[in-house]
Amino acid sequence: MVWIESVNGKRKAEVKLREGIAPDAISFIVGFGHNGYGASDYEVDGKLIKGSKQRKAGFNLNPIMRTDRCAEYGLMDKVGGSTVFYDTKARIVKA
């Protein structure tokens, strides 16, 4: 287990080393470790609805991605308008 740290926070994760990834890069699949979509507990009309452990399994690096300094959302590609995942600097620290 390791900590993946950026200026916006850190997340604990299990990592695997593999060929094909640059030595100074981190690669991850977007979509695992949800906080929403029924993964977290929430309350409706005073009744607690338990979240799904299966949906929350894994890790989600979105909360530690670099954000626009003028707003609270991720950086955007000026041409395509999609989120820029390639400009977040992070480090890996043994947990």
pLDDT one-digit tens code per residue, 22-55: 888 888 877 677 777 788 899 999 999 999 888 8
What is the Cα–Cα distance from 15 to 94, expressed in whole angstroms? 10
The residue with greater pLDDT, 13 or 79, is 13
Check whether residue 42 and residue 17 sit in a common domain.
Answer: no
Q: Which residues pair with 92 in a beta bridge?
A: 4
Check whether residue 65 and residue 87 sit in a common domain.
Answer: yes
Check whether residue 9 and residue 21 sit in a common domain.
Answer: yes
Check whether residue 50 and residue 72 sit in a common domain.
Answer: no
71-83 pLDDT tens trace = 767 777 777 777 7
Work out how many domains the chain is built from and give that number.
Answer: 2
Check whether residue 65 and residue 52 sit in a common domain.
Answer: no
For residue 48 the two structure tokens come to 């607690």
Check whether residue 22 and residue 65 sit in a common domain.
Answer: yes
Q: What is the mean pLDDT of the chain?
A: 84
Check whether residue 40 and residue 83 sit in a common domain.
Answer: no
First to last CA, the chain: 6
Residue that has been written with the tokens 């287990």 in this structure: 1
Domain, as residue range, for 36: 29-59
What is the Cα–Cα distance from 85 to 93, expressed in whole angstroms? 20
